[in-house]
Amino acid sequence: MNTTASSTPDTPHIPVLLAEVLAALQPRDGGIYVDGTFGAGGYTTALLEAAHCQVWAIDRDPDALARGAALAARFPDRLHLVAGRFGDMSELLATHGVRNVDGIALDVGVSSMQIDDRARGFSFLRDGPLDMRMERAGRSAADVVNTLPEKDLAEIILTFGEEKHARRVAKAIVAARSERPFSRTLHLADVIRAVVRRAQDGIDPATRTFQALRIYVNDELGELDRGLRSAEFLLRSGGRLAVVSFHSLEDRIVKTFMRTRSAEAARPSRHMPASAIKASAPTFNLITKRPALPGDDEINRNPRSRSARMRVAERTAATALAAVAGGHA
């Protein structure tokens, strides 16, 4: 473990399932694509190199966009960097006059640069401020562990971390913060490790609680849900949506959305009148019945790809269900 004071990321982000995402989106000359999670620009670069297309690249992390400046200079008329959340992508692009696109890629979660930069506070292996905010704004992980009631902390750790010792961890957090409020990542990691034993698989006991806090602080599952609906609005008929996710909570949301939207007589909302239900045809066709996974080669080259899975669906010509249901489907 690197314990120097540097906060410079030491691992460049290696794009995950890149060939699969490219094959799914089939970029063509003149096409318009959205990379909703620009990160280190791996997908964006590949799209721009594959065809003479336009790419609208979104990231909520100001550091990621700042690092994209060189790429934007290389493709001055074709790459458009946009600060914001992919959950708002249809609104974000509308402000630039873009209302339909040919393909959308989402590679959800955090980048290697974010994890490796101790100053961002995502890592339980490196000491840093207990932050975890991708946007560098809003409530930090320290705010959450220092202020939430024990019951709420336990709920978050159980739901978003799938930590079976959630109640024990929440109790330890509340006891520790009464002695000294949390401000550093390693303080929190040590408190967790004192009450949860390392499992036989060797996974650090702090893993699940850190994941839970990150998801909660950044409302990652809510963002994914809004992003999928936004994609339904933006994609033109025949346009493809490719989503790469990294854990079962995310994959379940993607799978359910794609299955529901591609089902015959898809029902966007239980409050919807029967007359409207009849009118709602499937808005997507499934391209991947099962998720695409990285092969052994990719996992050897990039162990962080280990848990990745990609699902792809193609937009039909049907009206977006959220539109049919008045924006609340």
Ligand X SMILES: C[S@@+](CC[C@H](N)C(=O)[O-])C[C@H]1O[C@@H](n2cnc3c(N)ncnc32)[C@H](O)[C@@H]1O
Distance CA 128, CA 275 (A): 56
Between 39 and 239, name the residue whose CB sits nearer to ligand X: 39
Q: Give the helix ranges, DSSP H, for the chain.
A: 18-25, 42-50, 62-67, 69-74, 89-94, 112-116, 141-147, 150-161, 166-179, 185-195, 206-217, 220-234, 248-262, 274-279, 296-301, 321-324
CB of 223 to ligand X, least distance (A): 4
CB of 57 to ligand X, least distance (A): 9
Between 182 and 233, name the residue whose CB sits nearer to ligand X: 233
CB of 154 to ligand X, least distance (A): 25
Between 181 and 222, name the residue whose CB sits nearer to ligand X: 222
Between 108 and 313, name the residue whose CB sits nearer to ligand X: 108
Between 81 and 206, name the residue whose CB sits nearer to ligand X: 81
CB of 43 to ligand X, least distance (A): 4
Q: Which residues bind ligand X (CB under 6 A)?
A: 13, 15, 36-37, 39-43, 58-61, 64, 85-87, 107-111, 134, 223
Distance CA 199, CA 211 (A): 16
Closest CA to 258 of 293, 222, 282, 223: 282
* Pair 294, 305: CB distance under 8 Å: yes
Distance CA 146, CA 88 (A): 30
Distance CA 172, CA 166 (A): 10
CB of 245 to ligand X, least distance (A): 10
Pull the structure tokens for residue 251: 């994959």
CB of 104 to ligand X, least distance (A): 12
Between 101 and 154, name the residue whose CB sits nearer to ligand X: 101
Between 83 and 276, name the residue whose CB sits nearer to ligand X: 83
Between 134 and 191, name the residue whose CB sits nearer to ligand X: 134
CB of 61 to ligand X, least distance (A): 4
In eight-state DSSP terms, residue 180 is S
> Which residues, other chains included, contact 218 with Cβ-Cβ below 8 Å and sequence gap of 6+?
60, 132, 133, 134, 135
CB count in 10 Å sphere of residue 128: 17
CB of 297 to ligand X, least distance (A): 18
* Pair 253, 221: CB distance under 8 Å: yes
Distance CA 190, CA 181 (A): 14
